[in-house]
Amino acid sequence: MTADIAALLGEHLQVDVEELARATGLSGAEVIELTEYGVFEPLSGGTGHWCYAARCIAVGRRASRLRTDFGLDLHGLALVSALLERIDDLEDECARLRAQSLE
């Protein structure tokens, strides 16, 4: 069996609005609105024609799940996403500090 190569969804791979929408299950209009709310940080491009790091796919898929499972509107979704991003950052910082102190 030949192995399929998995693509890292990080900073090196870029996606446009259409691809981000397709990969997340959000509509293009929702991607644009969530970008305006700061959920997605575009790397380049003008309004509606942005390019994003592929890591935004994971952020968007989580947002899409939360919207579906909790019935959130886009304002609520933007707030929840921002708070979850902060928690992610804090957990990363905790993990880094734990590694340094070799707990």
Footprint of other proteins (CB under 8 A):
1-12, 23, 54-55, 57-58, 61-62, 65-66, 69-70, 84, 92, 95-96, 98-102
Comparison of 16 and 55: residue with beta carbon closer to other proteins: 55
Q: Which residue has the tokens 């399929």?
A: 4
CB 51 within 8 A of CB 31: no
User: Measured in whole angstroms, how far is the alpha carbon of residue 70 from the centre of its chain?
Assistant: 18
End-to-end CA distance of the chain: 41
DSSP code, position 6: P
Cβ proximity to other proteins: between 44 and 99 the closer is 99
As measured in angstroms, the least distance from the Cβ of 25 to other proteins is 8
Q: CB of 75: closest distance to other proteins in angstroms?
A: 18
